A and B are shown apart, each in its own frame.
Chain A
Amino acid sequence: MKYLSEYRDPAIAQALIRRIRQSASRAWPMMEVCGGQTHTIVKQGLDELLGGAVELIHGPGCPVCVTPLEQIDKALALAARPEVIFTSFGDMLRVPGSECDLQQVRSRGGNVRVVYSPLDALELARRNPDREVVFFAVGFETTAPANAMAVWRARELGVSNFSVLVSHVTVPPAMEAILQDPANRVRGFLAAGHVCTVMGWTEYEPIATRYRVPIVVTGFEPLDLLEGILMVVTQLEEGRHEVENQYVRAVRREGTSPARTQVERVFQLVDRKWRGIGMIPRSGLGLRPEFAGFDAERRFGLEEIRVEEPAACRAGDVLRGHLKPRDCPAFGGECTPERPLGAPMVSSEGACAAYYNYGRLRPLEVVETS
């Protein structure tokens, strides 16, 4: 397909890899923020092809992985209610809550439906006026415009049996939390290209300046990632710390303003818990007061549910880049995609699932190539 196959050209990938190896005077540790990027890196083995020329640390940008246990438990409570049709993106169904997961609630008779788009959930509400349709609105800035539109349309069309369980998070506060961590090793970022298609990159400029880290807005194809890595390495070698854009074909500095505007109309910044990381101030999106009628937590009285994270899953260390998935004691034994202990083993964008599914079961020996 156009704009996909070109960016997978193996000869060009080889050339980029050679250039990265030539440019890097040391194995600079850098973080790819987005789980989609982690997926490509591990699937294509880009980190291994680079042979230690840089160290790729996998970031927290997997929406399923960072949704706190508390929100999962609220979803489970809602899905079990007889009057509710609970709708969600497919990858949330197997994320373990305190007691079970959404799939198990469904097998016990809960009406849980997978939707492709939040507008499909809204359509379901219009077709089932005698039921309450709740949509699990998770995700980063990439998904926020879609979820904002569903709420906006529900109000516009007067669909009163539709509500959303919101667990939205935003990238820049998470990057700052990582950089403020005393144990942080990250020296540069590949910023998430599709988050930036919506938001642009102005928010990253003060972060690059304050923490003196290069931030390169990067796409998702192998060549995008390799070029983004090369751009970060070049900045580090030259002692620069700027925001640059690798993903020029899809990202503009100001983002897609109609989408940003719609997000701002419906949502406002709120404090949000991240699974495995904890509370990050003003890192999430919640409904504005004028849309409070569409807030499922309020409609069904779930605001008071508070849950502590379990200790066995070390998702927090993985999401902050302190632990590679295969170095976790539970990885591949106690925790597998069939019986996941935590969300990073469930989602296709989770680092643990990517390592497991692409055979990274034990540390590989580095093979020297010329």
Chain B
Amino acid sequence: MGIPGRIVARREDQGLPMGMVDFGGVRRECCLAYVADEAKVGDYVIVHVGFAISRVEEEEARRTFEVLREMSQLDELEWIAEVADASLAPWERWAR
């Protein structure tokens, strides 16, 4: 399993790119060789057995979440439309 963490510092160990990665307060040194060109301090990476194997794209993470949240809000509106007694809606009363 891999988990996301944020790079807080970078260094080199005899030519190997390494970095300190923060996992919600727990910090561990990780190898950054596979993301060395794209990940900088402050970026999120997926870490597995001490190696960063992918950079997390913050913009994508936000976008995916927003799409899901909008869907959930839309869903709530649909749900209200389905289960709520339409006759009790204010515009229904006005029509009477």
Please list the residues of chain A having a beta carbon within 8 angstroms of any beta carbon in chain B: 1-4, 6-7, 9, 11-12, 14-16, 18-19, 36, 39, 89, 116-120, 139, 142-143, 145-146, 149, 153, 157, 194, 197-198, 220, 223, 227, 248-252, 256, 258-259, 262, 349
Contacts and interface: CB of A to CB of B under 8 A. Distances in A.
Contacts of A248: 57, 60, 63-64
Nearest to B75: A15
B35 interface: yes
B16 interface: yes
Contact of A197 (B14, B37, B46, B76): B46
Interface in B38-78: 44, 46, 48-51, 53-54, 56-58, 60-61, 63-65, 68-69, 71-72, 75-76
15 contacts: A4-B4, A11-B72, A15-B71, A15-B76, A18-B79, A117-B50, A139-B49, A145-B34, A146-B48, A146-B50, A146-B51, A194-B54, A197-B46, A258-B36, A259-B51
B53 to A, nearest CB: 5
Contacts of B16: 153
A118 B57 contact: no
B90 interface: no
Interface of B: 1-4, 6, 14, 16, 23-24, 28, 30-31, 33-37, 44, 46, 48-51, 53-54, 56-58, 60-61, 63-65, 68-69, 71-72, 75-76, 79
Given A1-B23, A14-B72, A248-B64, A149 B53 contact: no
Given A142-B53, A149-B33, A256-B53, A194 B71 contact: no
A249 B60 contact: yes
B51 to A, nearest CB: 4
B37 to A, nearest CB: 8
B49 A143 contact: yes
A146 B51 CA distance: 6
Given A12-B72, A15-B75, A3 B50 contact: no
Nearest to B60: A249
Contacts of B46: 194, 197, 250
B50 A142 contact: no
Given A36-B1, A119-B31, A194-B2, A145 B53 contact: yes
A223 B71 CA distance: 12
What 3 A-B pairs are tightest by C-beta distance, nearest first?
Answer: A117-B50, A1-B24, A197-B54
B43 to A, nearest CB: 11
B48 A157 contact: no
Contacts of A157: 14
Pick from A3, A16, A19, A157 the residue with the most CB of B within 10 Å. Answer: A3
A3 B53 contact: no
B75 A249 contact: no
Contact of B50 (A116, A194, A250): A116
